């Protein structure tokens, strides 16, 4: 158990890290927002558990949310691809890919997670707690994907699809993604490589630094054997995005060999 620390006061609105299966009533407001009640409540707790919590407790049996995040990310991509395919029948594959990228980037997922007040339900290690982990984009985005993965795992595709439709309803009905097209650099880079160079960029984690609750990933992106960009971030996605962004700057300045 984590003891309360006078330097880290808790509020009545915060789900404390002391949460365990006997405290499950604290999750009822979240389940009401999700419009889904878990039969296996520990699955929801796992989706809300950051690896810093599991690492800090030193218990191999403490499951964190990274595997569920992997599953939820895939489900989210499939459902949104289907929705965009239906919503915009005249758009090309490339245009649909751009729209999807704008809907699943870290900042967009953070906003959706904040709408669910997901941050206050997270189980975090002390390091993440004191450094504002409940408001971090990467943690919120990952937790939302993990919750989607948990719902898919227990409730199936229909339940996960229903929630994703609800979360993105306003975006799709307004069609704002068509005019905005807030594209990510990874999509831009992939389109350039496939269209102009007939190849696909590859990303590689160079190294990881820091403790589990504050890990920093360093990533490089290649075109063939040429390193064209590097980036870092508190998640692999953020680091890859930065690497791709820097690569696109070089490409626009014609600093990348194209043969």
Q: Which residues are catalytic?
A: 73, 145
- CB-based burial label for 179 (10 Å; 0-12, 13-18, 19+): exposed
Go through 88-127 and write b for each residue having 16 or more CB atoms within 10 A of its CB, e for each that does not.
Answer: beeeeeeebbbbbbbbbbbebbbebbeebebbbbbbbbbb
- Using an 8 Å Cβ cutoff, are 189 and 244 in contact? yes
How far is CA 163 from each of CA 50, 80, 152, 153, rounded to the nearest angstrom? 22, 11, 10, 14
How far is CA 180 from each of CA 93, 141, 187, rounded to the nearest angstrom? 17, 21, 15
Nearest CA among 210, 131, 8 for reference residue 139: 131
Query: E strands within the chain?
Result: 202-209, 216-223, 226-233
How far is CA 27 from each of CA 36, 41, 47, 112, 197, rounded to the nearest angstrom? 11, 9, 12, 18, 50
How far is CA 120 from each of CA 28, 175, 243, rounded to the nearest angstrom? 13, 31, 31
């Amino acid at each position: 158990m984590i003891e309360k620390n006078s330097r880290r006061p808790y509020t009545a609105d915060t789900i404390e890290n002391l949460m365990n299966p006997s405290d499950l009533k604290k999750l009822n407001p979240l389940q009401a927002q999700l419009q889904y009640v878990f039969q296996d409540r520990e699955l929801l707790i796992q989706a809300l558990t950051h690896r810093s919590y599991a690492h800090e407790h030193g218990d191999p049996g403490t499951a964190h949310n990274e595997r569920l995040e992997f599953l939820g990310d895939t489900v989210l991509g499939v459902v949104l691809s289907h929705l965009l395919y239906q919503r915009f029948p005249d758009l090309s594959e490339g245009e649909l890919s751009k729209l999807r990228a704008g809907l699943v980037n870290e900042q967009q997922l953070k906003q959706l997670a904040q709408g669910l007040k997901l941050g206050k339900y997270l189980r975090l290690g002390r390091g993440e707690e004191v450094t504002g982990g409940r408001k971090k984009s990467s943690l919120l985005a990952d937790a939302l994907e993990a919750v989607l993965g948990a719902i898919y795992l227990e409730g199936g595709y229909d339940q996960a699809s229903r929630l994703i439709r609800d979360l993105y309803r306003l975006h799709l009905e307004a069609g704002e993604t068509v005019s905005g097209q807030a594209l990510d650099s990874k999509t831009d880079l992939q389109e350039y490589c496939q269209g102009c160079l007939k190849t696909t960029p590859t990303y590689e984690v160079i190294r990881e630094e820091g403790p589990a609750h504050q890990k920093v990933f360093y990533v490089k992106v290649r075109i063939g054997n040429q390193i064209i960009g590097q980036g870092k971030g508190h998640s692999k996605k953020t680091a890859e995005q930065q690497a791709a962004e820097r690569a696109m700057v070089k490409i626009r300045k014609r600093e990348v060999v194209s043969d």
